Amino acid sequence: MLRPFRWDRAARRLDLLDQRRLPREEGWIECPDPEAVRDAIASMVVRGAPAIGVAAAYGVVTAFARPRPGEDPEACFGRADRTLRPARPTAVNLAAALDRMRLRFDSLGDLGLEDCSRELEDEADRIADEDLEANRRLGSLGADLLPPGDEPVRVLTHCNAGTLATSGYGTALGIVRAVAESGRSVEVFAPETRPWLQGARLTAWELVSDDLPVTLLTEGAVGSLLAARRLDAVVVGADRIAANGDAANKIGTYNSAVLAKRHRVPFLVAAPFSTVDLATPTGADIPIEERDAAEITEFAGVPVAPDGVRVWNPAFDITPAALIAAIVTERGVARPPFGPALARLGAA
Ligand code: MRU
């Protein structure tokens, strides 16, 4: 299965599939140090909440593999953390992966740089492998929520919450894969996802590559789709889920949630539990990344808006818990009221 990252054990270097060039070409970028990993995360070489968490974990290891002159283990960790943590603010998986690497580092006592590097490498491997396992498990739990029968299952998604955004299999698209693996036919509707086109470039590519039926549409067509066609569910991923169930995901997700409510289609959020942030009370407390104006004023490098126009380019929005039917995690399915349900899963 294609993964968006490759850890080179011999070179102790992270190689990232350059998602900016998909689907035209499959190119890889070599990241030998935390600074290169940070740049890759910020420029969306690698994107998707779980995948940037894994990239950050390996980014820590690269600091230990190539320490700067005079750096002891604590200085290496400090530099990696300071460099990587601010790379993208919304997806909690990045901070969660760094916190987990810190816990492991703190448990290592007085080990030297080389031994720390090996232990932290194993921890980063575990974070990656556990994400893949979580996706398979939540995929199967989510598939059970879709209506039984012989009719093809039809879902609308948003952005890319698939293999390319995770350690493999995917969250929202993991549910789609689990339905297909159970022998049922499944059809995905993928909005193009302005402005970065994760739906058109990544979700469509990933599903076409796996021979899973996918129909691409503009985001403006989502309301018409829900009005005109029978859909079984809207299934999306998340970058951070607050303690009350409010979910941050790619800008435009909220629009689909409102439309799904209007058309009585269940709206499911699929995410590993590492995306749930019980320390953040509500969606209003989630930092929303704002990205460069050029993502909107240009199209494929060609200016399409007048010089000097003001731009607002939030990369994510918040879907209020009230619009969500279920949050599917590997620990189980949370249903409203989400506060107690997520707290129970957190304690499990
Ligand atoms: O800006 P991106 O491409 O990193 O945004 C990604 C998303 O919004 C995904 O839906 C989310 O990270 C879940 S990925 C399993």
User: For the segment 205-227, what is each residue's pLDDT rounded down to a tens digit?
Assistant: 999 999 999 999 999 999 999 99
pLDDT, the chain, mean: 97
Q: Assign residue 275 a region: left if phi > 0, alpha if psi is -120 to 50, beta otherwise?
A: alpha
Per-residue confidence at 147, pLDDT binned at 50, 70, 90? very high
HEC profile of 110-148? CCCHHHHHHHHHHHHHHHHHHHHHHHHHHHHHHHCCCCC
Closest residue by Cα to residue 231 from 190, 198, 188, 200: 188
CA distances from 172 to 156, 235, 260, 277, 293 (A): 10, 6, 16, 19, 28
Mutational test site, ligand 1, from 44, 169, 239, max ligand atoms within 8 Å of CB: 239
- Cα-to-centroid distance, 74 and ligand 1 (Å): 32
Q: Is pLDDT above 80 for 239?
A: yes
Check: CB of residue 265 under 8 Å from CB of residue 302: no
Q: Is the pLDDT of residue 55 over 80?
A: yes
Q: Which of 131, 159, 275, 328 gets mutated to test ligand 1 (max ligand atoms within 8 A of its CB)?
A: 159
* Residue range 305-330, pLDDT digits in tens: 999 999 999 999 999 999 999 999 99
| Residue 31, φ and ψ in degrees, nearest 5 | -120, 100
Q: Give the distance (Å) from ligand 1 centre to CA of residue 48.
A: 4
Per-residue confidence band for 174, with pLDDT thresholds at 50, 70 and 90: very high
Active site residue 239: yes
Q: What is the DSSP letter of 344?
A: H
Quick count: other Cβ atoms within 10 Å of Cβ 151? Answer: 11
pLDDT of residue 348: 87
Task: Given the residues 18, 81, 131, 239, select the one marked as catalytic.
Answer: 239
pLDDT at 2: 82
Rg (CA), the chain: 20
Q: CB within 8 A of 296, min separation 6: which ones?
A: 194, 195, 305, 311, 313
| pLDDT > 90? residue 96 | yes
Q: What is the mean pLDDT of residues 114-127?
A: 97
Q: How far is the CA of 160 from the centre of ligand 1 (A)?
A: 6
User: How much distance in Å is there from the Cα of 19 to the middle of ligand 1?
Assistant: 12
pLDDT of residue 270: 98
Written as six digits, the tokens of 268 are 């499911």
Identify whether the C-beta of residue 184 lies closer than 8 Å to the C-beta of residue 153: yes
Closest by Cα among 33, 36, 45 to 5: 45
Average pLDDT over residues 286-313: 96
Per-residue confidence (pLDDT) for residue 162, from 0 to 100: 98
Residue 344 CB contacts under 8 Å (≥ 6 apart), including other chains: none
Q: State both tokens at 169.
A: 């299999």
Cα first-last separation, the chain? 30
Residue ID of nearest Cα to ligand 1 atom 8:
250
Q: What is the reported pLDDT for 124? A: 98
Task: Please state the length of the chain.
Answer: 348
Q: How confident is the model at residue 251 (pLDDT cuts 50, 70, 90)?
A: very high
Mean pLDDT (whole number) for 218-240: 97
Provide the pLDDT for residue 276. 98
What pLDDT, on the 0 to 100 scale, is given for residue 149?
Answer: 87
- pLDDT value at 1 more than 80: no
Mean pLDDT for 161-190 is 97
Torsion over CA: 129, 133, 136, 138 (sign)? negative
The set of protein residues with a Cβ atom below 6 angstroms from ligand 1 is: 47-50, 91, 159, 161, 165-166, 171, 198, 237-239, 249-250, 315
Cα(239) to centroid of ligand 1, in Å? 6
> Can you tell me the mean pLDDT for 37-62?
98
Q: What is the pTM of this model?
A: 0.97
Q: Is the pLDDT of residue 336 over 90?
A: yes
Q: Give mean pLDDT, residues 79-88.
A: 98
What structural domains and CATH numbers belong to the chain? 5-135 (1.20.120.420), 142-347 (3.40.50.10470)
**Single-letter residue type at 339:** G
